[in-house]
Amino acid sequence: MIDLARKKVTVVGLGRFGGGIGVTQWLCGQGAEVTVSDRASADDLAGSVAQLEGLDVKLHLGGHDLDDFLQADLLVVSPAIPQDIPPLKAAGQAGVPRTTEMNLFIRRCAAPIVGITGSVGKSTTTAMIGEILSRNYTVHVGGNIGKSLLGDLDAIEPDHVVVLEMSSFQLEQTEAIGVSPKISLVTNLSPNHLDRHGTMESYAGAKQNIFRFQGQSDLLILNSSDESLADWADLAPGRVDYFDPQGEPFDLQVTGQHNQFNAQAAWAVARELGVDRRIAADALRQFKSLSHRLQLAAEGGGVKYYNDSKCTTPGGLIVALDAFEPRTVVVIAGGSDKNVSFDEMGSAIARRAKGLVVLGSTAQKIAAAVEKSRSDPEPAVCSAVDLDSAVAAAVELASSGDVVLLSPACASYDMFTNYQQRGDQFVELAVRFAAGER
């Protein structure tokens, strides 16, 4: 861990989602000479730039300047940045060291870390774990769930617990520091981000970094019912335990069988850390849905509107469908393409949905997957040019007692800045349509 004071550090990728904000603020606090490089323009990044106001930082936006890479003492690269862009390749050839926000944090964190990854459910499971553990510990929750914890390092003590959601993008870079969390949980594994990783083997390999560097006394917790994880225990250098998705159910406010699965995973972590089940049950009873994750957005005319914009995988949409009665859900799906198959999802929609409205660059692929599996007149399928017209079309297909569900199964980048913007727009539209406005 180098002293960053007076070091020239280039943060590669500020992001519209603001992923580079926390690390930029922290680096400035360490006395580094910080430059932020992003291909997007200042106008596109206005919201993120505003949060850096008052900091002594150079903003080089609208394109990458090679000198910012070659003359730096350290590059801090956003996980979302493709690792093979020319400036990074040139910097690598020149021997310029690089790291990530996650790696900077892990190397400096004084408290034991609980790491959570998986293809579906990791954000809610992370939040549930934080809610339970807060009854017995001082807990810090962050990572891919949306909060940088670098700014909290001075407040994190050895007897605290840190709970980190860790994406495959973040985990593929942790190999550089050879560190895994003391407790690692894998919720499940299904195809995702193949546009980045290329193959399922590469995707799984990135996920496996969450336990690859554990010690013998550390713990890996796996989903006992996920066959994709069946041989992972053999790869673990430490202890292995399992959670049973069908275990004794908890009394939950949040809807859907998948949230029972999430609760069982969270309980497995809490149990390892000595939390009594009664305490865990009380915490889970009070747990509320996270924004953009099967969030009840509005209700009107007998129709409920659910915002599941965080769903960016086919498996996530299948899980969301299973939360409701068959043939009561009109699904809005589609977005940018991550090169994953929609066949299994199409079959689930054909069996369970009342209607489907597709939009975005994957619209026709999703519709074709449903048609391939169709055996009944339902679901009705139509397409929309934007989210406004998609909600309008879904409302036309819905009747009293039905659900209009935004569960895109795709990333948002073809039409939106991020999934939050997509979800926020859906909530606004849901409130309007629920009130009878058109």
CA distance 152 to 145: 16
Q: In terms of Cα–Cα distance, which of 16, 7, 3 is closest to 416?
A: 16
Q: What is the pLDDT of residue 18?
A: 62
Same domain as 158, residue 34 = no
H runs (alpha helix) in 62-113: 66-70, 86-93, 101-108
Render each residue's pLDDT in the chain as its tens digit; 438 residues. Answer: 789 999 999 999 998 766 799 999 999 999 999 999 999 999 989 989 999 999 999 999 999 999 999 999 999 999 989 888 999 999 999 999 999 999 999 999 999 999 999 998 899 999 999 999 999 999 999 999 878 899 999 999 999 999 999 999 999 999 999 999 999 999 999 887 878 888 999 999 999 999 999 999 999 999 999 999 999 999 999 999 999 999 999 999 988 888 999 999 999 999 999 999 999 999 999 998 878 888 999 999 999 999 999 899 898 899 899 989 999 999 999 999 888 899 999 999 999 999 999 999 999 999 999 999 999 899 999 999 999 999 999 999 999 999 999 999 998 988 998 888 999 999 999 999 999 887
Domain count, the chain: 3
Q: What is the pLDDT of residue 326?
A: 95
Same domain as 138, residue 84 = no
The token pair that represents 349 in the structure block = 């929609």
Same domain as 155, residue 110 = yes
Same domain as 270, residue 128 = yes
Q: What is the pLDDT of residue 339?
A: 87
**Residues whose CB is less than 8 angstroms from the CB of residue 112 and which lie 6 or more positions away in sequence, other chains included:** 161, 162, 181, 182, 183
Q: What is the pLDDT of residue 191?
A: 80
Same domain as 108, residue 93 = no
Within a domain: residue 3?
no
Q: What is the pLDDT of residue 192?
A: 79
Same domain as 376, residue 254 = no
* 186: CATH: 3.40.1190.10
Same domain as 189, residue 125 = yes
Q: In terms of Cα–Cα distance, which of 206, 212, 147 is closest to 171?
A: 206
Q: What is the pLDDT of residue 281?
A: 98
* 73: CATH: 3.40.50.720
Long-range contacts, 383-388 (Cβ 8 Å, 24+): 383/357, 383/358, 383/359, 384/332, 384/357, 384/358, 384/359, 385/359, 386/359, 386/415, 387/332, 387/359, 387/415, 387/422, 387/425, 387/426, 387/429, 388/429
Same domain as 427, residue 312 = yes
Q: What is the pLDDT of residue 17?
A: 63
Within a domain: residue 1?
no
Within a domain: residue 2?
no
CA distance 349 to 327: 9
Domain region containing 408: 295-434
